[in-house]
Structure 1
Amino acid sequence: MRVCHLIDSEPDVLGVQVNKDIIDIAKALEVFPKEHVSKTVSGFINGGPQAIQALNSYIKELPISDNQPYVLKETECEFGPAVPNPSKIICVGLNYRRHADETGAAYPEVPILFNKFNNTLTGHNQEIAIPNVTEQLDYEVELAVVIGQKAKNVSEDDALDYVLGYSTANDLSARDLQMKTPQWLLGKTCDDFSPIGPYLVTADEVEDPQSISLRTTVNQEVRQDSNTSDMIFSCKEIISYISKHFTLEPGDIILTGTPEGVVLGLPEDERVYLKPGDTVTVEIEKVGTLTNTFVEEK
């Protein structure tokens, strides 16, 4: 199942992709009410397996045709971040071998963790203002893991059972701010620096998260083209490792690192960072394609 966050007259509206259409669940429930079906993304995320089952059953029963007020075309939709209000956004640095190679960094012995905040969240096709305080804004396509149930001290063997689904994310990074201090936080947490979506794809649709391709284009020019098989620490290793240190909650987002091809990995005289007018598309096989255009900060 592929769900999304629709920006509508109500907050946090749940959408579901069916074929090439988007079903606005809030509007559908007005016409065809049914108990135990959430109309919000947050309700769906927090509802566990029962919420997935209830929504699946509802969609199968729902009349779907172009004349229904709850059936939308993707081009008609305004998307918010696929996960609207996570309690935590946890990121893994230097988690691809060839990305570490291109930046001259040693492979980490344990996952390098840092965090982002909810102010960084935005959605597909939303404009992103480049902060005036940076001249070195970089892109990073990343597979986002979304937790579906409380996880503490879970084993690697069981870790993927705690995953609700996956999404496509762009871990935007202001390199000049990031490198000012040993802590990366400043360069990672400017407004709208974590676009994610458009879809949250439930885990059953991604059989093996360690064997899917990732791609970034800037103004239609390919910049990153890799595969999650190059990860140093797999998704299950990351989830297990984090859960041994603190509890993961439903809706928590884990950004699992970026592959080679970032601007920072180029020779210094060849680095051309993002500028107003650029359009960046990050794409992950089986998960989705996320596009944002960059504008000047006012």
Structure 2
Amino acid sequence: MRIARFSIDGNVAFGAVEGDSPPGTTEGLVLDIIKGIPFADFELSGTKVPLNKVRLLPPVLPNKVIAFGRNYAEHAKELGNEVPDTPFAFFKPSTSVIGPGDEIQYPNFSQELHHEAELAVVIGRMCREVPRERVKDVVFGFTAANDVTARDVQKREKQWARAKGFDTSCPLGPWVETDLTLAQASDLTIQCTVNGTQRQLGRTSDMITSIEDLIVNISEAMTLLPGDVILTGTPEGVGPLNVGDEVAVTIEGIGTLTNKVVKRG
């Protein structure tokens, strides 16, 4: 099931996305409005609205976004970094999250903004110290993410809070796909285009540390809450974004997340 979060006539709701559409469009898609919230038992209301009549929002509002760096060997290599011996985690604040179609604001303190296409895992229940064999029970679904990075700031500062945590630096969407298994999610095509030109193309099977082991690793340290998001790393091909660019992250079996870069006002 594809579950989207949206607003219509000033109201915010979740809905199940139904139908098929040509790539990059929403033509023919409808939302069946959900009664309640998707992290608990819910029913479909039967009330349907065309998806192109609503504004899609970030599919979840996470308490925290936990991102893992250098989880693809070729990406680490292209930036001149060693592959870490153990998973390397950092945070993006909830205020960094935006949805499909929202604007990425180029921060005034940077002159080198980069895209990073990533598979995002959405947590479905409160959990801590999750055994590997139980990871499947705590995953709600998967969505696309763009770990937008102020690369020059990342290089000169010893921690990444500003470089990766500025407002609008975490686009998520367009929805959460709940029908993918962990095995399926571990072998998907992931790509990024800028103004229609391909920049990144890889497969999630190239991850150094698996989705299961990333969740085991971070849940050893902290409680994960429903709606929390885990970013699993980016394949090689990261590159610059400029004001006016349209950047799109497409993940096989999930969909396309598109955002435009604007000057920060």
TM above 0.5, yes or no, is: yes
Judge conservation of contact 2:17–2:32 (CA < 8 Å) in 1: no
User: Which of the pair is proportionally richer in helix?
Assistant: 1
**Offset, 1:203:** 4.2
The aligned counterpart of 1:29 is: none
The aligned counterpart of 2:252 is: 285
Q: Equivalences for 1:56-135 in 2 at 5 Å?
A: 58=45, 62=46, 70-72=48-50, 74-83=51-60, 85-135=61-111
Q: Equivalences for 1:1-298 in 2 at 5 Å?
A: 1-19=1-19, 20-23=28-31, 25=33, 37-38=35-36, 43-45=37-39, 47=40, 50-51=41-42, 54-55=43-44, 58=45, 62=46, 70-72=48-50, 74-83=51-60, 85-204=61-180, 207-263=183-239, 273-298=240-265
* Counterparts of 1:225 and 1:22, CA distance in 2: 30
The aligned counterpart of 1:34 is: none
| Paired residue secondary structure (2:110) | coil
* Counterparts of 2:248 and 2:138, CA distance in 1: 29
Number of matched pairs: 257
Judge conservation of contact 2:182–2:211 (CA < 8 Å) in 1: no
| Paired residue secondary structure (1:44) | coil
* Counterparts of 2:173 and 2:103, CA distance in 1: 14
TM-score calculated relative to the size of structure 1: 0.82
Which shows bigger deviation, 111-120 or 197-206?
A: 197-206
In the alignment, structure 2 segments of 5+ residues that lack a partner are 20-27
- Radius of gyration: which is bigger? 1
Amino acid at match of 1:18: E
- Residues 110/205 of structure 1: CA separation in 2 closer, same or farther (3 Å cut): closer
**Offset, 1:207:** 4.8
* Counterparts of 1:231 and 1:137, CA distance in 2: 24
Describe the superposition over 1:211-270 as per-residue Cα deviations: whole angstroms up to 9, x where unpaired: 00100001111000000011011100000111111111111100111110012xxxxxxx
Percent identity over the alignment is 38
Judge conservation of contact 2:18–2:32 (CA < 8 Å) in 1: no
Amino acid at match of 2:54: C
* Counterparts of 2:134 and 2:79, CA distance in 1: 33
* Counterparts of 1:204 and 1:220, CA distance in 2: 27
* Counterparts of 1:206 and 1:277, CA distance in 2: 36
User: Which of the pair is proportionally richer in strand?
Assistant: 2
Q: After the TM superposition, which segments of 4 or more aligned residues of structure 1 sit over 2 Å from their partners?
A: 7-12, 74-77, 203-207
Instruction: Give the aligned CA root-mean-square deviation in angstroms.
Output: 1.7
**Offset, 1:7:** 2.3
* Counterparts of 2:29 and 2:74, CA distance in 1: 38
* Counterparts of 1:242 and 1:203, CA distance in 2: 24
In the alignment, structure 1 segments of 5+ residues that lack a partner are 27-36, 64-69, 264-272
TM-score calculated relative to the size of structure 2: 0.91
